[in-house]
Chains A and B, each alone.
Chain A
Amino acid sequence: MTTAHSNLALTGPSQPDGPAFALTGTRASGHGDAILAWVTRGSAIVVILMLVSLVSVLAYASVPAIRTFGVGFLTSHDWRPNELPGEPKRDATGNLIFEDGEVVLEMIPASFGALPVIYGTTVSSVLALLFAVPLSLGAALFLTRIARGWIVAPVSFLIEFLAAIPSIAYGIWGLFVLAPFLQRYVEPALNKFFAITPGLRWLAFPSTPTGRDMFAGGLILGVMVVPIITAVARDVLRAVPRNQVEGTVALGATWWQSSKEMLKYSRSGLFGAIMLGLARAAGETMAVTMVIGNNNQIAASPFAPAQTMSSLLANEFAEASTEIHRSALIEVALILLLMSLAFNVVARYLVVGKGSRSAAAH
Chain B
Amino acid sequence: MISLLKKTAAVAVLALSGTVAMAETKLTGAGATFPNPIYQKWVAEYQKSHPDVKIDYQSIGSGGGIKGITEKTIDFAGSDAPMSKKELAAAGGEIVHIPTVAGAVVAAYNLPDFKGELKLDGPTLAEIFHGKITKWNDPKIAALNEGTSLPAVGITPAWRTDGSGTTFVFTNYLATQSNEFKNAVGMGKQVKWPTGQGGKGNEGVTAIVQGTPGAIGYVELNYATQNQIAFATMKNKDGKFVKCSPDSVAAAGAGAVGKMDKSLAVDIWNQGGDESYPIAAFTYIIVYKDLGYLKDQGKAKALVDFLKWATTEGQSTAKEMDYAPLAAPVQKKVADALATLTWSGSPVAAAK
Residue positions of A touching B, CB distance < 8 A: 78-85, 175, 179-180, 183, 206-208, 210-212, 289, 293-296, 305, 307, 314-316, 318-321
Contact with A along B194-214 (1 / 0, CB 8 A): 011111100000011001111
Task: Quote the shortest CB–CB distance from A152 to chain B (angstroms).
Answer: 40
B153 at interface, CB cutoff 8 A: yes
B163 at interface, CB cutoff 8 A: yes
Query: Across the interface, do B183 and A319 meet the contact criterion of CB distance under 8 Å?
Result: no
Residue positions of B touching A, CB distance < 8 A: 61-63, 66, 134, 153-156, 161-164, 171, 182-184, 186-193, 195-200, 207-208, 211-215
Query: Across the interface, do A318 and B183 meet the contact criterion of CB distance under 8 Å?
Result: no
Query: Across the interface, do A207 and B134 meet the contact criterion of CB distance under 8 Å?
Result: yes
Among the listed B161, B183, B211, B214, which residue makes an inter-chain contact with A294, where contact means beta carbons less than 8 Å apart? B161
* Complexed CA–CA distance, A293 and B212 (Å): 12
Supposing A212-B197, A294-B198 touch, asked if A207 and B155 sit within 8 A by C-beta, the answer is yes
Contacts of B155 in A (CB 8 A): 207
Contacts of B196 in A (CB 8 A): 295, 305
* Complexed CA–CA distance, A226 and B37 (Å): 42
Supposing A210-B212, A293-B197, A295-B193 touch, asked if A316 and B163 sit within 8 A by C-beta, the answer is yes
* 6 A-B residue pairings within 8 Å (CB atoms): A78-B192, A81-B188, A83-B186, A208-B156, A210-B211, A294-B197
Supposing A180-B211, A183-B212, A210-B212 touch, asked if A82 and B197 sit within 8 A by C-beta, the answer is no
* Complexed CA–CA distance, A316 and B190 (Å): 9
Among the listed B61, B66, B154, which residue makes an inter-chain contact with A207, where contact means beta carbons less than 8 Å apart? B154
Contacts of B200 in A (CB 8 A): 289, 294, 314-315
Task: Quote the shortest CB–CB distance from A325 to chain B (angstroms).
Answer: 8
Query: Across the interface, do B162 and A316 meet the contact criterion of CB distance under 8 Å?
Result: yes
The 9 closest A-B pairs by CB, nearest first: A82-B188, A321-B63, A294-B198, A319-B163, A207-B154, A80-B192, A315-B161, A208-B154, A84-B186
Query: Across the interface, do A82 and B186 meet the contact criterion of CB distance under 8 Å?
Result: yes
Query: Across the interface, do B211 and A82 meet the contact criterion of CB distance under 8 Å?
Result: no
Task: Quote the shortest CB–CB distance from A182 to chain B (angstroms).
Answer: 11
* Complexed CA–CA distance, A208 and B134 (Å): 10
Task: Quote the shortest CB–CB distance from B219 to chain A (angstroms).
Answer: 16
Contacts of B192 in A (CB 8 A): 78-82, 296
Among the listed A211, A293, A319, which residue makes an inter-chain contact with B198, where contact means beta carbons less than 8 Å apart? A293
Query: Across the interface, do A81 and B190 meet the contact criterion of CB distance under 8 Å?
Result: yes
* Complexed CA–CA distance, A121 and B208 (Å): 22
Among the listed A179, A207, A318, which residue makes an inter-chain contact with B211, where contact means beta carbons less than 8 Å apart? A179
Supposing A78-B192, A85-B182, A180-B211 touch, asked if A320 and B197 sit within 8 A by C-beta, the answer is no
Task: Quote the shortest CB–CB distance from B187 to chain A (angstroms).
Answer: 7
Which A-chain residue is minimally distant from B134 (CB atoms)? A207
Among the listed B62, B164, B183, B211, which residue makes an inter-chain contact with A85, where contact means beta carbons less than 8 Å apart? B183
Contacts of B63 in A (CB 8 A): 319-321
Contacts of B190 in A (CB 8 A): 81-82, 316, 319
Contacts of A210 in B (CB 8 A): 156, 197, 208, 211-212, 215
Task: Quote the shortest CB–CB distance from A217 to chain B (angstroms).
Answer: 12
Contacts of A321 in B (CB 8 A): 61-63, 66, 163, 189
Supposing A81-B163, A207-B134, A321-B163 touch, asked if A315 and B198 sit within 8 A by C-beta, the answer is yes
Among the listed B62, B183, B211, which residue makes an inter-chain contact with A211, where contact means beta carbons less than 8 Å apart? B211
Task: Quote the shortest CB–CB distance from B82 to chain A (angstroms).
Answer: 14
* Complexed CA–CA distance, A215 and B215 (Å): 19
Query: Across the interface, do A319 and B211 meet the contact criterion of CB distance under 8 Å?
Result: no
Among the listed A208, A307, A319, which residue makes an inter-chain contact with B164, where contact means beta carbons less than 8 Å apart? A319
Contacts of B187 in A (CB 8 A): 82
* Complexed CA–CA distance, A319 and B161 (Å): 10
Query: Across the interface, do A208 and B182 meet the contact criterion of CB distance under 8 Å?
Result: no
Query: Across the interface, do B163 and A320 meet the contact criterion of CB distance under 8 Å?
Result: yes
Task: Quote the shortest CB–CB distance from B14 to chain A (angstroms).
Answer: 41
* Complexed CA–CA distance, A11 and B190 (Å): 48
Query: Across the interface, do A208 and B198 meet the contact criterion of CB distance under 8 Å?
Result: no
Contacts of A206 in B (CB 8 A): 134, 154
* Complexed CA–CA distance, A207 and B214 (Å): 10
Contacts of B214 in A (CB 8 A): 208
Task: Quote the shortest CB–CB distance from A181 to chain B (angstroms).
Answer: 11
Task: Quote the shortest CB–CB distance from A207 to chain B (angstroms).
Answer: 4
* Complexed CA–CA distance, A149 and B154 (Å): 54
Contacts of A295 in B (CB 8 A): 193, 195-198
9 additional contacts (CB under 8 A) given A82-B171, A207-B155, A321-B62:
A81-B188, A85-B183, A208-B153, A212-B211, A294-B198, A295-B196, A319-B61, A319-B190, A321-B66
Contacts of A180 in B (CB 8 A): 211
* Complexed CA–CA distance, A119 and B22 (Å): 60
Which B-chain residue is minimally distant from A307 (CB atoms)? B198
Task: Quote the shortest CB–CB distance from B134 to chain A (angstroms).
Answer: 6
* Complexed CA–CA distance, A127 and B134 (Å): 28
Contacts of A316 in B (CB 8 A): 161-163, 190
Task: Quote the shortest CB–CB distance from A319 to chain B (angstroms).
Answer: 4
Contacts of A314 in B (CB 8 A): 200
Supposing A289-B200, A319-B63 touch, asked if A82 and B207 sit within 8 A by C-beta, the answer is no
* Complexed CA–CA distance, A212 and B212 (Å): 9
Query: Across the interface, do B189 and A319 meet the contact criterion of CB distance under 8 Å?
Result: yes
Query: Across the interface, do B182 and A319 meet the contact criterion of CB distance under 8 Å?
Result: no
User: Which of B171, B196, B197, B207 is packed against the most chain A CB atoms within 10 Å?
Assistant: B197
User: Which of A81, A82, A85, A307 is packed against the most chain B CB atoms within 10 Å?
Assistant: A82
Query: Across the interface, do A81 and B191 meet the contact criterion of CB distance under 8 Å?
Result: yes
Which A-chain residue is minimally distant from B215 (CB atoms)? A210
Contacts of A80 in B (CB 8 A): 186, 191-192
